[in-house]
Structure 1
Amino acid sequence: MKRIQLGNTVFEGENDVYLLDGETTALVDTGVALPEVREELVDGLDEYGLAFADVDAVVLTHWHPDHAGLAGEVQAESDADVYVHEADAALVDGSETPLFTDRDLQRETFERWGMPDADRERLTAFFDAVSADLSGRPADVTTFGDGETIRAGGVELEALHLPGHTAGLSGFAFDPRAVPDHEPVAGADATEEAFTGDALLPKYTPNVGGADVRVEGALAAYAESLARIVERDFDAAHPGHRWRIDDPSRRAATILDHHRHRTRRVVGVLDESGPATAWEVSAELFGSLEGIHVLHGPGEAFSHLDHLAAAGVVERDGTDYRLVDPDPDVAALFPTTPLDDLVDGGEDA
């Protein structure tokens, strides 16, 4: 297994593409469809004597352009099978339009969040500036569901549906001992590692709420995904950005606790300021935002407000949220894990 790192100045930093070149050749994710990133992927494959035409399969963790953008181009040159979870398939095969280019969905979403007109225009201008080239050409896809097995690059990959960041985000569990040119992190004791896409990242907490506005109950879904990662207790995780995670259970528990901390902060904002919109809560949590974060900030705030509303802690009136219970048991709103007492998931998680 080889990791090919690609540039990314729009989203969460360097993208990781994983090359599996056993009995066949496969890629896990592809990077964004920008010319300079395409060249980086071409060069990365060339280091191993490979080209797009040699790829037999592309396995996607989710639909976001920085992970799926080049899938169609790889397929066009190789006729590779492109695998994606059924909930994200329409955004990879082009039959559904993403928020980046869907004006009606933008208007509906920004109104729900209480976003001011000037900020809507600013975010729309950002989308117009960057989104046209990001998604690349559509791909013909093969869908999978949770628990299904995909054989790619000579490796058996078990699909783990880990929704939250997107509706169909999936990780892929595998036996590291069966992967050519890969030394298991835990040595001979290793039995299971996973590709985690953006479900688990080593530096940032993956955005929830703004990254895929299709997800109902996004924070609840993501919390359950994190608890599932803790339970599986992988020896290592190979994320969609930056570097390998050598203690994925602890990292997942830390991010889960981070969301408990953030939920308490949202309750505190409403307790101090009175009824507020997702946009206003976002301003208290994150301050002034630029670029893609103009989407991610209020989306994150909305996911927490929505989670609190589902629990009866707040009530929604139009775009405003009013605090009903100023002293909720926040811990009870999230799943528990065996590592909860060992982590501190504060705002820097």
Structure 2
Amino acid sequence: MTLTVNRIRLGNTEFEGENSVYVLGTAADEQTTLIDTSVRTPETLDALRSGLAEHGQSLADVEQVVLTHWHPDHAGLAGTVQEESGATVFVHEADAALVAQEDEAWDVFEARQRTLLREWGLPKPIQKAVLATAEKVGRLDGPAPTIERISAGDELDCATGLETVHLPGHTEGLVGFAFDGNAGRELFSGDALLPDITPNVGGADVRLDNPLAAYLDTLSHFIDSDYDRAWPGHGDVMETPAERAREIRNHHRERAENILDVLADHGSADPWSVAGHLFGELDGIHVLHGPGEAYAHLEHLAESGAVRRVENEYELVEHPDLDALFGDAVAVRQ
């Protein structure tokens, strides 16, 4: 049986712009599944209801909510949908406690975030502003869903079946869901692979010790698996996912080169200073994501021995073999 995929475009209050929520199944099917739910606002909830109605369905018809990761623009309405429909909510075990709004998990997360903001070198007034923004767009609110935890390799019941694929980096528990579709082997990629922007690593989830290394492994999975199509959490469907993964890997290779140049030209620096050289003035969520990405790169370079961390600054040791760290650069579409 071919899986029926319908896309609902929903607004977003922050992050990467318009969200894509996928409805699997039709009004005639026995089971309706949502991939992600978008951010929890009255406007988005109304838009989700309208989108489902266009396909002859309602929130009450949803039997499964399958989340790619914990971020509020993907999991925000999960509890609301479950409250109205009784749907089962699935999320990877690494992100489950955050989605379930468990206070202990959030307390640990926020303590880690406060520590890293200090270590990254953000000035105290900016730390305060970042934490205020993180509080506004961070913890999920509304009904806390009851969660079914899943892990890599788990298969969910949905027409042809959905195979859980662990794709960490952007968050610790980000997963995709692979299935046999009209184009061949296809995947719901969440924010692991996006068509127009590069998913943030470092600032988007502070729990990973080496988020860039994790994300490079995720990109290698896309390249090696060579999916025939990927359905992202933001933007249009990608017909050549492996090619897009190579583009993003090349982007990070170039970013690493830029960071090495910063250290060579300006001496040792903390992530906040490096981000200033890379991106200039930052605002909004990017005040967190900018130094977070610099930190992710610096930690990856430190693990290779190319840079050395001295307290909260990083100094250049030697120029590394970037082919070994990022793979051979390849030609990609313009």
C-alpha distance in 1 between matches for 2:54 and 2:333:
41
1:17 partner amino acid:
V
1:334 and 2:305 correspond: no
Alignment of 1:1-349 (within 5 A): 1-21=5-25, 22-96=29-103, 104-131=111-138, 135-152=141-158, 154-176=159-181, 184=182, 190-325=183-318, 327-335=319-327, 340-343=329-332
- Distance apart, 1:11 and its partner CA: 0.8
Cα separation, partners in 2 of 1:304 and 1:198, compared to 1, 3 Å: same
Structure 1, unaligned runs of 5 or more? 177-183, 185-189
Cα separation, partners in 2 of 1:99 and 1:122, compared to 1, 3 Å: farther
Cα separation, partners in 2 of 1:163 and 1:130, compared to 1, 3 Å: closer
Cα separation, partners in 2 of 1:129 and 1:220, compared to 1, 3 Å: closer
C-alpha distance in 2 between matches for 1:65 and 1:101:
18
Cα separation, partners in 2 of 1:99 and 1:86, compared to 1, 3 Å: closer
- Distance apart, 1:135 and its partner CA: 4.3
Q: Secondary structure at the match of 2:301?
A: helix
C-alpha distance in 1 between matches for 2:144 and 2:230:
28
C-alpha distance in 2 between matches for 1:18 and 1:115:
38
1:144-197 CA-partner distances (Å, limit 9, x unpaired) = 111111113x24001110000000101111001xxxxxxx3xxxxx32111000
- Matched-pair contact (CA < 8 Å) for 1:113–1:277: yes
Cα separation, partners in 2 of 1:306 and 1:70, compared to 1, 3 Å: same
Q: Secondary structure at the match of 2:170?
A: coil
Cα separation, partners in 2 of 1:323 and 1:11, compared to 1, 3 Å: same
C-alpha distance in 2 between matches for 1:331 and 1:293:
29
TM-score (norm 2): 0.93
1:19-49 CA-partner distances (Å, limit 9, x unpaired) = 0114310000000111111111111111122
Q: Secondary structure at the match of 2:289?
A: helix
2:245 partner amino acid:
A
Cα separation, partners in 2 of 1:214 and 1:128, compared to 1, 3 Å: closer
Q: What is the aligned-residue RMSD (CA, Å)? A: 1.9
1:31-71 CA-partner distances (Å, limit 9, x unpaired) = 01111111111111111222211100001111100001101
2:332 partner amino acid:
V
Cα separation, partners in 2 of 1:103 and 1:332, compared to 1, 3 Å: closer
Structure with the bigger RCO (C-alpha within 8 Å, sep 6+) is 1
1:9 partner amino acid:
T
- Distance apart, 1:94 and its partner CA: 1.3
- Distance apart, 1:343 and its partner CA: 2.5
- Distance apart, 1:96 and its partner CA: 4.8
C-alpha distance in 1 between matches for 2:294 and 2:178:
31
- Matched-pair contact (CA < 8 Å) for 1:195–1:239: yes
- Matched-pair contact (CA < 8 Å) for 2:97–2:105: no
C-alpha distance in 1 between matches for 2:57 and 2:23:
10
1:160 partner amino acid:
V
C-alpha distance in 1 between matches for 2:196 and 2:287:
20
1:108-143 CA-partner distances (Å, limit 9, x unpaired) = 1211211111211221232355457x5443211111
Structure 2, unaligned runs of 5 or more? none
- Distance apart, 1:9 and its partner CA: 3.2
C-alpha distance in 2 between matches for 1:62 and 1:130:
15
1:279 partner amino acid:
W
Identity %: 49
